[in-house]
A and B are shown apart, each in its own frame.
Chain A
């Protein structure tokens, strides 16, 4: 991993071996923002964050300051829930922040609680991240002992417990309402929004702010340096810096903190200071710009800046900052199936179209890959997609509660649109090589 002249806001301590310790954190200015904030009016702290125009880093990119303001006035208690469930394929940054700089996250949590008036905070860490949990637990233990967390923080009237809680393996729990369900001890099945917008009716039906780990990790810097300093970085609609993970067929895969909205995909993928180009200097075939849910981009998108609005307009999203690069050797059908399998496996099962549809899509794709495709299958795939996400448009419409089901549509729509010939080749090949379909696939059957 490397990064250069751009200011390092959240990865500034990553080069220290002991970056996760309280000693290192304090030695590098840690908990200064907390001290500063406690001397301020909570509303002023919130205002500072608002003026930073910090977009949420969890995927949806909603401005954090605005979200905080959505909690209904005078309804108490409020809770803060930290989303550390990072599981979107291609995404790799929250784990680093939790493992390498847990105090920065804790300080961010405290600042948010102070500003919003949260009575208790829950830090929900993905279950499979044992090291992150150990580091956060250790950091919290240190921070409690040092008086940064808990009762009468730094001698003030500000008191809050930060409870580390851990998941147990379910991608969908990254979705904020599912996360809340999980935190209530339930199956992680999303709630319908409206009416269950967490800011109004969240944990235990109380106002709840859910923020991503990276989002909150920015807060100490913002309070230290001011919202304006943060907003001065980046582009019009995408301020500050942001972490991007570049993986797949690149020479130097890595996680990079770059100025938001300025760097282009081409920079990030090809520049020697970042991913360093495609392996073996192959041609690029496609890339996923923002996690497995995002529609794929191609060569013609390389010069777009990593900027939220621009990418949205171009028909995809920056999502969770996960760029997955596929070179010309990639089998589009196989890649497509693998992403679809992910959503099929991770569907919570609540909505019929997602539960049944994603599994069916996976079955059809696997059948095509196994050489049992039929010429009608491509139209069928698209029609099933259409029944999950009507119109197959971007941003997606949905017949489901949450966007997981429609996310399975992205890879299919992208791959079939661009690489139809590869799908057709598989199918024709099948026609030539197979005399009949296996018995497992009976002819169409009547339902009534």
Chain B
């Protein structure tokens, strides 16, 4: 499957409808595509291009700028080990090395069983909890080598259903109820907001 499924098209159209310009929905839609297929396929990008009214090259231009989008299949679990300064000081590089040994792969590679990909990543905002890592963007703080091995074993055993497959960004989505929507405000909506009428700022 590569184009967005009808269900996902429905979600996509709803997301597009939240933005004053359709192109603003590009990154959210790329996440949606990655959630669907585990990585972003060419067909999905072409489909997204149609949905937001830009060229496929523009979609690729945006998508390839961002670290999180993968254009080739990756493991079910993306293990991101931080080696940036705070983590480096606390053993992040050693943890990464250990992970390479445990899984038998180098950063950027995927295990033969298709379960794990590891990456040597930049700061993930858990600096006081170094060394730290993420599995599919779920945090693991102050990780020892032993804890790492245990985590791998648990994931292999399917014992961590709190971690969804790669691509799933957030299991809770924003939903704007139709009756509560204030509505998009486009650059063409040049009227002063109603609640400002009579305000001092409006007068000044």
Contact = CB atoms under 8 A, between A and B. Distances in A.
A–B interface present (Cβ within 8 A): yes
Interface of A: 1, 41-44, 46, 73-74, 76-77, 79, 86-92, 94-95, 114, 117-120, 126-131, 133-138, 140-141, 144-145, 147, 149-151, 156-161, 163-171, 182-188, 204-206, 245-249, 253-255, 288, 292, 322, 324-326, 330, 334-335, 338-339, 342, 345-346, 348
Given A43-B201, A90-B86, A76 B169 contact: no
Contacts of A92: 125-129
8 contacts: A79-B185, A117-B193, A127-B169, A130-B169, A163-B19, A169-B68, A169-B69, A248-B90
A129 B109 CA distance: 23
Nearest to B129: A253
B26 interface: yes
Nearest to A252: B128
Given A169-B67, A170-B65, A171-B122, A204 B128 contact: no
Nearest to A69: B201
Contacts of B186: 77, 204
Interface stretch (B95-103, B132-140, B146-154): B132-140
Interface string B17-54: 01111011111101100000000000000000000101
Contact of A134 (B31, B61, B172, B184): B172
A247 B92 CA distance: 13
A275 to B, nearest CB: 9
A117 B180 contact: no
A151 B184 CA distance: 11
Contact of A42 (B122, B125, B201): B201
A42 B196 contact: yes
Given A141-B175, A184-B23, A130 B127 contact: no
Contact of B128 (A94, A157, A159, A246): A246
Nearest to A73: B204
A78 B108 CA distance: 42
Nearest to A253: B128
Nearest to A128: B137
Contacts of A249: 89-90
A268 to B, nearest CB: 12
B170 interface: yes
Contacts of B200: 41, 43-44
B204 A157 contact: no
Contacts of B173: 137
Contacts of B193: 76-77, 117-119
Main SS at interface, chain A: mixed
Contacts, number: 254
A137 B172 contact: yes
Given A131-B139, A185-B21, A334-B88, A247 B128 contact: yes
Nearest to A411: B85
Nearest to B170: A133
Nearest to A184: B24
A322 B25 CA distance: 32
Interface residues of B, number: 75
A15 B31 CA distance: 33
A247 B196 CA distance: 45
Contacts of B26: 185-186
Contact of A324 (B62, B83, B89): B89
A88 B122 CA distance: 9
Main SS at interface, chain B: loop
Contact of B89 (A145, A206, A330): A330
Nearest to B126: A92
Nearest to B163: A130
Interface in B159-204: 169-177, 179-187, 189-196, 199-202, 204
Given A161-B181, A182-B27, A330-B89, 8 more contacts: A41-B200, A87-B123, A141-B172, A167-B66, A248-B89, A249-B90, A324-B127, A338-B83
A342 B86 contact: no
Nearest to A40: B199
Given A129-B137, A335-B85, A119 B172 contact: no
A160 B172 CA distance: 21
Given A89-B122, A133-B170, A255 B195 contact: no
A342 B174 contact: no
Nearest to A288: B85
Given A89-B86, A134-B170, A245-B128, A185 B187 contact: no
Contact of B185 (A114, A120, A164, A324): A120
A326 B27 contact: no
A360 to B, nearest CB: 19
A205 B20 CA distance: 12
B77 to A, nearest CB: 13
B62 A205 contact: no
A204 B187 contact: yes
A89 B179 CA distance: 42
B139 to A, nearest CB: 7
A188 B65 contact: yes
A370 to B, nearest CB: 15
Contacts of A158: 195
B144 interface: no
Contacts of A204: 20-21, 186-187
B4 interface: no
B182 A253 contact: no
B24 to A, nearest CB: 5
A265 B174 CA distance: 40
A144 B177 contact: yes
A127 B31 contact: yes
B124 interface: yes
Contact of B192 (A74, A245, A335, A339): A74
What 8 pairs across the A-B complex have the smallest Cβ distances?
A: A169-B67, A119-B185, A168-B66, A185-B26, A185-B23, A150-B180, A43-B200, A247-B127
A122 to B, nearest CB: 8
